């Protein structure tokens, strides 16, 4: 039976794409067949690389799918409205994803949890519910993360969804706030840190990225 994992963030720019790529590598190292899906890519032109291309570059996998691409660097609903472009409903996206044959399907969202992914108000919450998916929350390690992560995780629990917590883009020399947040996030959310992905991971060459990535996850969504 295929397992589904939706990767969301506490904000934009927290490292969702690199975390998604690293999860794909780590799951693959367990012998699992992994597919990555980016339902909506915004902010890129027809011939420009997007998040799915970055995943391919880092992992070497060709089992990566981008479903919709929009020009403006905005939330999907807003970008589609400005462009006059249609967006598939969450139900349609979930149906497309369920047709994929894999042990684990990783679905990278856009921005944070409540960003609208279609024109009917659907969010990552609705997509996760439609897929009966776990939700990986990618959080920053610095100041502000306790509030952002707490709000996101509380909302997921209120919706009856299973959250997992990963830190993206973590400093090799964390300061006081970063060190304490690595302690306080599990204490305050009740969630272990399932992954700590280092800053600069997305700049590694493919060989080094694939060598290191499995070690970034003490527990693996989609498996553990």
Distance from C-alpha of 208 to C-alpha of 149, rounded to nearest angstrom: 30
Q: Where are the alpha helices (DSSP H) in the chain?
A: 16-29, 51-59, 76-83, 90-98, 124-131, 145-158, 176-189, 206-212
CA-closest candidate to residue 177, choices 199, 146, 198: 146
Q: Which residues contact 31 (CB under 8 A, 6 or more apart)?
A: none
Interatomic CA distance for residues 216 and 208, integer angstroms: 13
Residue 166, CA distances (Å) to 7, 35, 71, 210 in order: 10, 20, 29, 18
Q: Token digits for 145?
A: 């993360």
The catalytic residue among 3, 16, 38, 129 is: 38
Decide if 16 is catalytic. no
* Residues with catalytic function: 38
């Amino acid at each position: 039976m295929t397992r589904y994992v939706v990767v969301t963030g506490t904000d934009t720019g927290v490292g969702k794409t690199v975390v998604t790529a690293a999860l794909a590598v780590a799951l693959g190292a367990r012998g699992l067949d992994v597919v990555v899906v980016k339902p909506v890519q915004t902010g890129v032109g027809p011939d420009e690389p997007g998040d799915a291309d970055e995943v391919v570059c880092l992992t070497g996998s060709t089992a990566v799918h981008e479903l919709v691409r929009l020009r403006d660097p905005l939330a999907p609903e807003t970008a589609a409205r400005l462009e006059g472009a249609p967006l598939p409903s969450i139900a349609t996206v979930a149906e497309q994803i369920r047709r994929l044959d894999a042990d684990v399907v990783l679905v990278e969202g856009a921005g944070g949890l409540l960003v609208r992914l279609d024109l009917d108000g659907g969010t990552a919450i609705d997509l996760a519910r439609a897929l009966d998916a776990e939700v990986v929350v990618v959080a920053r390690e610095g100041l502000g993360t306790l509030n952002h992560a707490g709000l996101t995780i509380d909302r997921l629990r209120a919706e009856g969804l299973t959250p997992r917590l990963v830190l993206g883009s973590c400093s090799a020399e964390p300061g006081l706030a970063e060190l304490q947040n690595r302690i306080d996030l599990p204490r305050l959310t009740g969630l272990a840190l399932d992954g700590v992905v280092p800053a600069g991971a997305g700049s590694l060459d493919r060989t080094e990225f694939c060598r290191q990535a499995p070690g970034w996850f003490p527990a693996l969504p989609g498996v553990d």
